[in-house]
Amino acid sequence: MKYQILNQDNNLPLIQRLLGVRNISEKPDFFLDPRIAHYWKDPFLLNDMEKGVERIIQALKNKEKIMIFGDYDVDGITSSFCVYKFITEFLGYKNISIMYPDRLKDGYGLKNKHLDEIKAKGVSLIITVDNGITSVQEAKYAKELGIDLIITDHHHKLDQVPDSYALINPQVSPNYSFKGLAGVGVAFKLINALLTKTNFDKEKKNQIFNYFLPIVAIGTVADIVPLVDENRVIVKKGLELINKSPQTLPKGLAGFLKYLNIKDNVDTFHIGFVIGPRINAGGRIQSPYDSLKILLTEGEKQLEHIEKIEAINTERRKLQDKAFRVAEKKVNPDQNFLFVCDEEFHEGIVGIVAGRITEKYNKPSAVFKIDQEKHQAIASLRGPDYFSVIDMISSAGEYLLRFGGHKGAGGLTVDLDQLDKVLEIFQNYCQEKIAPEDLEKTTLIDTKLWDHEWNDDELKEIQLLAPFGEGNQEPSFLLENIKVERVETVGKNNSHLKIYGIFGEKTIVMMFWGKGADANLIPQKISAIGRVKTDTFNGGYYLDGEARFV
């Protein structure tokens, strides 16, 4: 097993070693106890924010019809909820609607057909959320139709940017230093910019700010953007409000969380694996409007939408498991770029399948849904940490109908006549860019944990680093020379392994999930790699084991 210890300076206290791994040398207190004031940046530093805000205010005064055009994932749904709810509930303006593309019929983003529909509804202003930066032709068409287009997005630009009325995106804002906002983060900035133009007193403005913060936190975590800088304080404070002030939450969110009945405090794990996948399921498999209505409704009406989403999410899991089994049979693991094409794949789950392939093989991957009727292939791509997906996609840009993404993930649409050429470009790109050492997966360990550090005073400080996620992973530790006292198998079918040991002079419990079959293979002394978890049932701590060795 290959591993790398990121900080081996044993002269430093545990918390300082962990901060060092995260390159936090200046103002560590800001990181450990972040406040909004520490990180918050002026929304008007974003390109075209002033212009966009003034246009929205003009539309409200003139009683114009406004359309919010969102993406169909968690980021897009939370973004559209925030802008819609702010304008309708807090500004009292009702002549505004939300539209999403149909994932299967339309694909990602704004299309001319949407603009025709929107024009027919009498709309004169469109606000995009979590999309639009690649809508170059659509912006031109909107102008021809006499519709003003305000784009709010966070994705990377192509060679050309849309000629829209306003383009609000940190990626094209040289004065805005933090580029990591999610789409919902940019939408939240728009709300706060509008808030400065209102006559609300400070207390009311704070109440509105806190009302949206939990929704923004959910969208931010679900979109897997780095949980640093502004995102860190957004998510930390949003989670605090969810757990400590549930009476302040939007009623739809409060009802949804009550239904989910999460026993522990909600954290980034629950957003990533419980809340997010359910909101995502509607847009992946059927309709994002079902997911949106979970947040917009309450009571019996909300329960109908939740139960529908639960059924869709169950179907989504079945589809992705089946697709992954097909992909495993078709993919060639000897290649540096792994791809699979199939007409039977559901377009809504190709990204999940690509992610699982990349996780298993530590190589960039693409899963293509073949659409013979449109004579196109639609793909989601994923890449390991050492690789930039968007750079690879861009290398074949001239052969693609549409594409977009960022370092870790992307999507594209290609004419079937160009598919082989694109696959050849990607394969050559990966052959050139990926070194043999990249392919050997290295387990990154924050630091070695010494037996004298296995105590409440030091271990509880680990939680000061939360919230954990992209850009701030939960710390992983190496514990050496643990004397094994007892081994048990637990769980359904005895599938999990529980080891009791002595670490120095202290008792330690270690859990290895899915390793029950190894119960008779454990020697008298082991070393282990894992994460320190709070034992909510018995008190104290245990090691959530990733690996063990002699």
CA angle 103, 79, 164 (to 5 degrees): 80
Residue range 38-300 in CATH 3.90.1640.30: yes
The better pLDDT of the pair 549, 213 is held by 213
In the chain, CATH 3.90.1640.30 sits at 38-300
pLDDT at 404: 84
How do residues 103-127 score in pLDDT, each as one tens digit? 878 888 999 999 999 999 999 999 9
pLDDT at 550: 67
d(CA 146, CA 133): 19
Contact 22, 232 (CB under 8 A): no
Instruction: Give alpha helix (H) positions in 261-349.
Output: 268-270, 276-285, 288-296, 299-330
pLDDT at 264: 86
Query: Which segment, 46-60, 343-357, 391-405, is predicted with the most confidence on average?
Result: 46-60
In the chain, CATH 3.10.310.30 sits at 331-439
pLDDT at 53: 98
- 501 pLDDT more than 70: yes
| Percentage of the chain modeled with pLDDT above 90 | 91
How do residues 218-274 score in pLDDT, each as one tens digit? 999 999 999 999 999 999 999 999 999 999 999 999 999 999 999 889 999 999 999
In the chain, CATH 2.40.50.460 sits at 3-29+442-549
Q: Which whole number is the average pLDDT over 183-212?
A: 98
Kindly indicate the confidence band of residue 407, based on its pLDDT and cuts at 50, 70 and 90.
confident
pLDDT at 467: 98
Contact 421, 399 (CB under 8 A): yes
Contacts of 528 (CB under 8 A, 6+ apart): 478, 479, 482, 510, 543, 545, 547, 548
Q: Which whole number is the average pLDDT over 398-418?
A: 92
pLDDT at 61: 98
Kindly indicate the confidence band of residue 194, based on its pLDDT and cuts at 50, 70 and 90.
very high
DSSP for residue 133: T
Claim: this prediction has a pTM higher than 0.85: yes
How do residues 264-320 score in pLDDT, each as one tens digit? 899 999 999 999 999 999 998 889 999 999 999 999 999 999 999 999 999 999 999
- 39 pLDDT more than 80: yes
pLDDT at 239: 98
| Percentage of the chain modeled with pLDDT above 70 | 100
Contact 368, 344 (CB under 8 A): no
Instruction: Tell me what the pLDDT averaged over the chain comes to.
Output: 95
CATH fit for domain 3-29+442-549, picks 1.10.10.10, 2.40.50.460, 3.40.190.10, 3.30.365.10: 2.40.50.460
Residue range 331-439 in CATH 3.40.50.360: no
Q: Which whole number is the average pLDDT over 367-388?
A: 95
pLDDT at 2: 83
- 549 pLDDT more than 80: no
d(CA 82, CA 174): 25
> Among 16-20, 510-514, 544-548, which stretch is predicted with the lowest mean pLDDT?
544-548
d(CA 401, CA 246): 45
